[in-house]
């Protein structure tokens, strides 16, 4: 029987919902996040299921973006997924938004650095190494400044090139170029946020590989410390 899966993405800047049957996309929609996102997300899910004559009980799998990203969006999307999983006994697969960005460009270089704007000159970033077409996490999702990114790269890279990707790359092209020189590989123009159906395809593969925890144990990757802590860091540094 083909796996029916529902995908929820609240990582921002756009929300997304998709319905997949195996790898085939039955429906997919994206929408702007903002005030009332939780109500909007619930409505989009209900409409998508109704339009395809399905109920939550007909699903086999839930895939949800874990972040890093929007605090509110991640919390609502994962909360909605957990509610459906609890009532209907469904598994949830969580997908890192940085891993999804890296997967979009897999094959461009052995080392892949996805980056995403975190606000206030901070960046969400991670580092992956490609081995036999698999992406091996080297640096887990982290929040820092561009100097932290460069220090991390120095700790892991020799003279090998690294492919930088994601919506956080464009604003840091100059320091990346100055530090990495000819080792820098970049997209001609940053790819858009991974689509919900792309996240769903990743989630399905993880689920088929047996890579999924107890749904209630999943937590979003907020990474951002409380604003008061960030203010203290600015004053002391």
- Torsion of Cα atoms, 77 then 47 then 83 then 81, to 10°: -40
Superfamily in which the 4-97+193-224 domain is placed by CATH: ATPase, nucleotide binding domain (3.30.420.40)
- Hey, is 93 helix, strand or coil? strand
Pick from 7, 79, 77, 8: which is nearest to 37 by CA?
A: 77
Domain ranges of the chain: 4-97+193-224, 106-186
- pLDDT tens digits for range 136-194: 999 999 999 999 999 999 999 888 999 999 988 888 999 999 999 999 999 877 777 88
Axis crossing angle, helix 97-104 with helix 196-208, rounded to the nearest 10: 100
Q: Are 111 and 94 in contact, with CB atoms under 8 Å apart?
A: no
In this predicted model, what pLDDT tens digit does every residue of 18-47 receive, in sequence order? 999 999 999 999 988 777 788 899 999 999
CA distances, 43 to each of 11, 18, 46, 49, 193 (Å): 17, 13, 5, 10, 22
> Can you spell out the DSSP letters for 170-200?
GGGHHHHHHHHGGGEEE-SSPPPPPPHHHHH
Using an 8 Å Cβ cutoff, are 126 and 99 in contact? yes
The CATH classification of domain 106-186, taken from the options 3.30.420.200, 3.20.20.450, 3.40.50.620, 3.40.50.1580: 3.30.420.200
Look at residue 70 in the predicted model and tell me its pLDDT. 87
What integer is the mean pLDDT of 207-224? 86
Using DSSP bridges, classify how beta strands 92-96 and 111-119 pair: parallel, antiparallel or unpaired.
unpaired
Model's pTM, two decimal places? 0.89
Report the sign of the C-alpha dihedral through residues 9, 10, 12, 17, in that order: positive
Q: Which pLDDT tens digit goes with each residue over 74-131?
A: 999 999 999 999 999 999 999 999 999 999 998 888 999 999 999 888 999 999 999 8
Alpha-carbon distance values, 97 to 144, 206, 231 (Å): 16, 14, 26
SS (H, E, C) 13-58: CEEEEEEEECCEEEEEEEEECCCCHHHHHHHHHHHHHHHCCCCHHH
Identical fold for domains 4-97+193-224 and 106-186, yes or no, is yes
Q: How far is CA 46 from CA 17, 19, 49, in A?
A: 10, 11, 5
Pick from 109, 30, 119, 138: nearest CA to 68? 119
Residues β-bridged to residue 162: 111, 184
DSSP code, position 132: T
Q: Is the pLDDT of residue 237 over 80?
A: no
| Span between the terminal Cα atoms of the chain, in Å | 57
């Amino acid at each position: 029987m083909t796996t029916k899966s529902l995908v929820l993405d609240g990582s921002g800047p756009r929300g997304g919902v998709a319905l997949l049957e195996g790898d085939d996309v039955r429906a997919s929609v994206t929408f702007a996040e903002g005030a009332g996102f939780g109500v909007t997300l619930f409505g989009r899910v209900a409409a998508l299921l109704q339009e395809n004559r399905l109920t939550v009980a007909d699903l086999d799998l839930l895939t949800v973006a874990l972040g890093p990203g929007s605090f509110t969006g991640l919390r609502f999307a994962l909360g909605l997924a957990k509610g459906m999983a609890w009532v209907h006994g469904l598994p949830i697969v969580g997908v890192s938004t940085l891993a999804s960005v890296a997967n979009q460009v897999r094959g461009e270089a052995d080392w892949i650095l996805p980056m995403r704007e975190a606000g206030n000159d901070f960046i969400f970033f991670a580092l992956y190494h490609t081995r036999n077409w698999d992406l091996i996490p080297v640096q887990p999702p982290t929040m820092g400044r561009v100097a932290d990114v460069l220090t991390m790269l120095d700790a892991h890279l020799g003279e090998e090139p690294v492919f930088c990707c994601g919506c956080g790359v464009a604003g840091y092209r100059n320091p990346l170029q100055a530090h990495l020189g000819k080792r820098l590989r970049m997209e001609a123009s940053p790819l858009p946020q991974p689509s919900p159906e792309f996240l769903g395809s990743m989630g399905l593969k993880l689920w088929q590989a047996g890579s999924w925890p107890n749904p209630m144990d999943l937590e979003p990757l907020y990474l951002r410390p409380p604003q008061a802590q960030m203010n203290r860091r600015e004053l002391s540094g």
